[in-house]
Amino acid sequence: MKSLFEPVQVGSLHLPNRIVMAPLTRNRAPDAIPTPLMAEYYAQRASAGLIISEATAITHQGQGYADVPGLYGTEQLDGWKRVTRAVHERGGRIYCQLWHVGRVSHLDLQPQGQKPVAPSAIAAKTKTYVIHQGKGSFVPTSEPRALDAKEIPGIVRDFRHAARNAIAAGFDGVEVHGANGYLLDQFLKSSSNHRTDDYGGSIENRARFLLEVMREVCEEVGRERVGLRLSPVTPANDVADEDPQKLFDYVVRQVAPLGIAYLHLIEGATGGPREVEGRPFDYDKMLHAWRATGAKGAWMVNNGYDRALAGKALEQGADLVAFGRLFIANPDLVQRLRTNAGFNPLVKETLYGGGAEGYTDYPALQAQPA
């Protein structure tokens, strides 16, 4: 029987356990540059089998929130080098999550105050996070413009370039953010993609952009260092698909032969209920499609897991379980799960923005006496 605490090979990495720190946006990177405090935060969590970094913008255009990090400038790379070194020094492993927000942005956050880009000129009924005079707040996203098909190869190259930067900055691999209603998910889902060219309409066309990104990123850094995150039915950032089961069956069957390290699945509503009303979804079917194609990549599940539910998921075929909120409040989550210890409560007020408070000051368990 698989256990959370047994080692597993994932792509080129040997993980000491199956517990993954999920990507978590924390808005503590002023000017998109990772700070020494971020290095401390990630290093504190290095006992995870694998850490996935917070979502990291591949370009300025891909930026949609205040104080989220990027991976396209020298200072950003230098900041990340500090983070990856700190994690490795503590014996950990860390992937970088590559992110383009698409329409989930604001004029104030875009280069020269231009409109955010999207598959179609449809605003998302959602909010983004801006900081004014040190105070963060959520504001409605700006109306986007539809990308010209001629611009898409440039964004595919941006993903590829960011993947190269990630490896140069010392990351062990990259996770393409194909979830949560951001650019690639906006192309996948029928509610946000009304295009009539090769990138819209049929499932094959809506998945084209994501698959182009995946192929290029694999070519750049090696498939054994690439993961993908998907969220078939999340309502996050105002996306929905008319037939998610069919869409993601296709996506999985196309991605599997690429031979990537893992597929990371958000079950249900991101950070919310595992069942979304009116959007039933059979995740087992998706896993079977993955295995049926002969994919060797790990199957990583996420959303609201605790120890018992995680054990059940492993029994039912998952290889890895990603924990989000529990990892924010418990730097030594692996030890706490292993010893069945209690958890620190999560402080919601300090999730987004700010400094060390609610970030690096969650206590670890007392060291066990020898």
Measured CA distances, 240 to 140, 190, 283, 285, 353 (Å): 19, 7, 17, 19, 29
Q: Which is nearer to ligand 8OZ, 41 or 65 (CB)?
A: 65
Q: How many residues bind ligand 8OZ (CB under 6 A)?
A: 6
Comparing C-alpha atoms, which of 364, 360, 270 is closest to residue 28?
A: 360
What is the three-class DSSP state of 368?
A: coil
Q: Which is nearer to ligand 8OZ, 185 or 319 (CB)?
A: 185
Q: How far is the CB of 266 from ligand 8OZ (least distance, A)?
A: 9
Q: How far is the CB of 204 from ligand 8OZ (least distance, A)?
A: 25
Comparing C-alpha atoms, which of 142, 259, 244, 155 is closest to residue 203?
A: 244
Q: Is the dihedral of CA 96, 295, 184, 222 positive or negative?
A: positive
What is the three-class DSSP state of 15?
A: strand
Query: Residues 256, 218: contact at Cβ < 8 Å?
Result: no
47 binds ligand 8OZ (CB under 6 A): no
Query: Residues 143, 126: contact at Cβ < 8 Å?
Result: no
Q: Which is nearer to ligand 8OZ, 25 or 120 (CB)?
A: 25
Q: Which is nearer to ligand 8OZ, 128 or 193 (CB)?
A: 128
Report the site for ligand 8OZ in 221-250 (rule: CB under 6 A): 236
Per the residue annotation, which of 65, 72, 95, 182 is the catalytic one?
Answer: 182
Q: How far is the CB of 87 from ligand 8OZ (least distance, A)?
A: 20
Inter-axis angle of helices 74-89 and 36-44, to 10 degrees? 30
63 binds ligand 8OZ (CB under 6 A): no
25 binds ligand 8OZ (CB under 6 A): yes
Q: Which is nearer to ligand 8OZ, 9 or 137 (CB)?
A: 137
Residue 362 annotated as catalytic: no
186 binds ligand 8OZ (CB under 6 A): no
Residue of 110, 165, 180, 330 interacting with ligand 8OZ (CB under 6 A): 180
Those residues with Cβ within 8 angstroms of residue 81's Cβ, 6 or more apart along the chain or in another chain: 169, 170
Q: How far is the CB of 126 from ligand 8OZ (least distance, A)?
A: 10
* DSSP notation for 67-122: T--BSSSHHHHHHHHHHHHHHHHTT--EEEEEE--TTS--GGGSGGGPPPEESSS-
323 binds ligand 8OZ (CB under 6 A): no
327 binds ligand 8OZ (CB under 6 A): no
**DSSP secondary structure letter of residue 175:** E
Query: Residues 56, 71: contact at Cβ < 8 Å?
Result: yes
Q: Which is nearer to ligand 8OZ, 25 or 186 (CB)?
A: 25
32 binds ligand 8OZ (CB under 6 A): no
Number of other residues whose CB lies within 10 A of the CB of residue 6: 13
Report the site for ligand 8OZ in 259-298 (rule: CB under 6 A): 270
Report the site for ligand 8OZ in 85-104 (rule: CB under 6 A): none
Comparing C-alpha atoms, which of 217, 106, 208, 215 is closest to residue 159?
A: 217
192 binds ligand 8OZ (CB under 6 A): no
**DSSP secondary structure letter of residue 346:** P
Residue of 41, 42, 65, 80 interacting with ligand 8OZ (CB under 6 A): 65
Residue of 29, 32, 55, 255 interacting with ligand 8OZ (CB under 6 A): 55
- Which stretches of the chain bind ligand 8OZ, using CB under 6 A? 25, 55, 65, 180, 236, 270
Active site residue ranges: 182
